[in-house]
């Protein structure tokens, strides 16, 4: 996504709009990944509107192994408590087994981050109904990278 005349535009969905905004003869497309998630407009509660989030998501390219490695903030070895207020990188995927397995295939490169300095934390479990305690048949996958220590 790139900003054109004050509005976010998907560079792959609407390249002609980007090309026409570049002036008389400048028809180059912007560099990959021009829109950072932190640049997207938000509501007063901090939420990104669905149409903006969908355009942003569709404009992303699959990261290289190096980009993935550089983007991860490992959890400190002595960390405890909630990671929400921190920059620690976490992934949570929940759903039926086919969905979790399919989406998990996108995260295979994370296994390469296991080395002498960091370890991959993985928790894969069946979910249970909060009211009955019965297994639902669905799964939850949690992934993060932690510093060894």
Q: What is the pLDDT of residues 117-140, one digit of tens each?
A: 999 999 999 999 999 999 999 999
Give the contacts of 58 (CB within 8 A, at least 6 positions apart).
Answer: 10, 12, 13
137: number of Cβ within 10 Å: 9
Does residue 85 surpass a pLDDT of 50?
Answer: yes
More confident residue, 7 or 97: 97
Please report the pLDDT score of residue 19 as a whole number.
Answer: 60
Average pLDDT value for residue range 90-115? 89
pTM attached to this predicted model: 0.62
Does residue 84 surpass a pLDDT of 90?
Answer: no
> Which sequence spans correspond to the domains of the chain?
2-59, 65-147
Phi and psi at residue 129, to the nearest 5°: -70, 130
Does residue 61 surpass a pLDDT of 60?
Answer: yes
CB 75 within 8 A of CB 148: no
Rounded mean pLDDT of the chain?
Answer: 80
Please report the pLDDT score of residue 138 as a whole number.
Answer: 92
Distance CA 134, CA 115 (A): 37
Distance CA 129, CA 90 (A): 23
Q: Could you tell me the pLDDT band of residue 94, with boundaries at 50, 70 and 90?
A: very high
Does residue 13 surpass a pLDDT of 70?
Answer: no
């Amino acid at each position: 996504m790139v900003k054109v005349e004050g509005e976010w535009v998907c560079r792959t969905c609407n390249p002609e709009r980007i090309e026409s905004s570049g002036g008389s003869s400048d028809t180059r497309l912007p560099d990959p990944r021009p829109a950072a998630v932190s640049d997207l407009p938000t509501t007063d509660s901090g939420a990104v509107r669905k149409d903006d989030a969908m355009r942003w998501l569709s404009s992303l390219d699959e990261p290289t192994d190096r980009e993935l490695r550089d983007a991860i903030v490992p959890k400190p070895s002595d960390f405890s408590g909630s990671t929400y207020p921190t920059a620690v990188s976490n992934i949570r995927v929940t759903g039926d087994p086919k969905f979790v397995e399919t989406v998990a295939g996108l995260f295979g490169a994370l296994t390469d981050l296991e080395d002498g300095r960091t370890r991959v934390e993985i928790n894969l479990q069946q979910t249970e109904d909060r009211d009955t305690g019965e297994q639902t048949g669905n799964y939850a996958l949690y992934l993060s990278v932690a510093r060894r220590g």
